């Protein structure tokens, strides 16, 4: 039996439901979560429970039958081969890209709203790629399939969208520091095993198969995913392309280096930008602090992944003028990549859809 303990954010269901836009009508829906036993699937179930969704209105699917426990609630997991899609009102695909490509067309053909958390459809022109706080307005009544962004992209784009609105972006340079759990449960287990080994703690279990290109404990790996002939990694390409699409700036200069670091949870990004127009730094910081989905810290040594784990907002700090003249700006941002980088963002997207419980097909509000 798998288990998931509550995160730090929104322990009160009424507070969570209001924050996520998850209304009573949304809670009446039968929600399908495919890939329920993975990291993002478990987190999504946790968020649904935090928002007051009744467990009897959740359908959990995985590759095989099983059971799991989330917030003291037991869920039956149904093998995907036996899934009854007629018993769902909206479906979240917390699945690898190949499985999303297989399932999404079938579900859309059945007129089911689908939020896909994989990379399968993010750059498909007729599929919206949505961070609700930034571009939720792209949803129309014709969209049944909606793509959730790359986790690093979502974290970086929230503060970048504020800068774009205030003074326009001319150039963006991003270096990411991505947690082991970004590679799912295998990544987290690998880091934990390696850290115990580095500390001389005898292994209590067999060494897990590592998803990383090198040992991660006490190390930094300066590329994520395969590196192409142009020297750009797959993860870097995702951040470049998705940032341009979410910000609606196909012309934007974006340079990215993605790295894996020995942190359990939360991705961090160091961002350096040049803007199109001059800005007042105090005004920009105030606008950042007032933006939905963002918290600003004046801690000169923050924000930090350890303190941000399990929280909803993207924490932004070290906001300062750069040294490249007018229009130069730097900041550091941290976000829980399993929450805002994946499951929470997906739920917020679904909250923008008109609920379809009782057989009325969902549509964007």
Nearest-CA neighbor of 162 among 140, 138, 131? 131
Residue 74, helix vs strand vs coil: strand
Other CB atoms within 10 Å distance of the CB of residue 252: 18
CA distance 257 to 223: 7
Distances in whole angstroms, Cα of residue 191 to Cα of each of 38, 43, 183, 218, 337: 17, 20, 11, 10, 17
User: Can you read off the two tokens belonging to residue 176?
Assistant: 């990411």
Residue 350, helix vs strand vs coil: helix
- Catalytic site positions: 151, 267
| Sequence-separated (6 or more) residues with CB below 8 Å from residue 161 | 131, 133, 134, 246, 247, 291
Nearest-CA neighbor of 349 among 1, 35, 44? 44
Sheet holding 169-178, edge to edge: 253-260, 169-178, 267-275, 328-335, 314-321, 294-296
Given the structure tokens 């995913």, which residue do they identify? Answer: 225
Q: Is 138 exposed, middle or buried (0-12, 13-18, 19+ CB in 10 A)?
A: middle
């Amino acid at each position: 039996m798998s288990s998931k303990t509550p995160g730090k954010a929104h322990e009160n269901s009424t507070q969570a439901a209001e924050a996520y836009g998850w209304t009573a009508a949304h809670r009446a829906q039968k929600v399908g979560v495919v890939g329920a036993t993975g990291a993002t699937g478990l987190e999504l179930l946790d968020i649904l429970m935090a928002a007051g969704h009744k467990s009897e209105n959740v359908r959990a699917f995985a590759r095989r039958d099983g059971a799991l426990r989330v917030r003291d609630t037991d869920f039956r997991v149904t093998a995907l081969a036996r899934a009854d899609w007629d018993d769902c009102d909206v479906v979240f695909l917390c699945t690898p890209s190949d499985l999303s490509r297989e399932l999404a067309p079938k579900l859309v053909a059945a007129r089911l709203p689908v939020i896909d958390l994989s990379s399968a459809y993010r750059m498909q022109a007729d599929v919206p790629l949505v961070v609700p706080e930034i571009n939720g307005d792209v949803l129309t009544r014709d969209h049944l399939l909606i793509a959730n962004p790359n986790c690093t992209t979502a974290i970086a784009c929230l503060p970048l969208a504020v800068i774009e609105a205030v003074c326009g972006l001319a150039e963006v340079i991003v270096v990411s520091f991505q947690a082991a759990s970004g590679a799912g449960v295998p990544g987290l287990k690998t880091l934990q095993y390696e850290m115990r080994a580095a500390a001389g703690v005898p292994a209590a279990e067999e060494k897990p198969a590592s998803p990383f290109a090198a040992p991660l404990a006490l190390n930094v790996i300066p590329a994520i995913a395969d590196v192409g002939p142009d020297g750009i990694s797959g993860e870097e390409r995702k951040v470049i392309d998705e940032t341009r699409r979410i910000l609606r700036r196909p012309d934007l200069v974006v340079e990215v280096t993605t790295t894996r670091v020995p942190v359990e949870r939360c991705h961090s990004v160091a961002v350096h930008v040049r803007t199109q127009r001059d800005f007042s730094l105090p005004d920009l910081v105030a606008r950042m602090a007032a933006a939905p989905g963002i918290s600003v810290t004046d801690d000169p040594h923050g924000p930090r992944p350890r303190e941000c784990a399990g929280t909803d907002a993207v924490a932004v700090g070290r906001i300062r003028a750069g040294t490249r003249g007018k229009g130069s700006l730097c900041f550091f941002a941290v976000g829980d990549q399993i929450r805002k980088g994946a499951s929470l963002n997906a739920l917020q997207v679904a909250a923008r859809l008109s609920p379809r419980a009782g057989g009325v097909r969902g549509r964007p509000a």
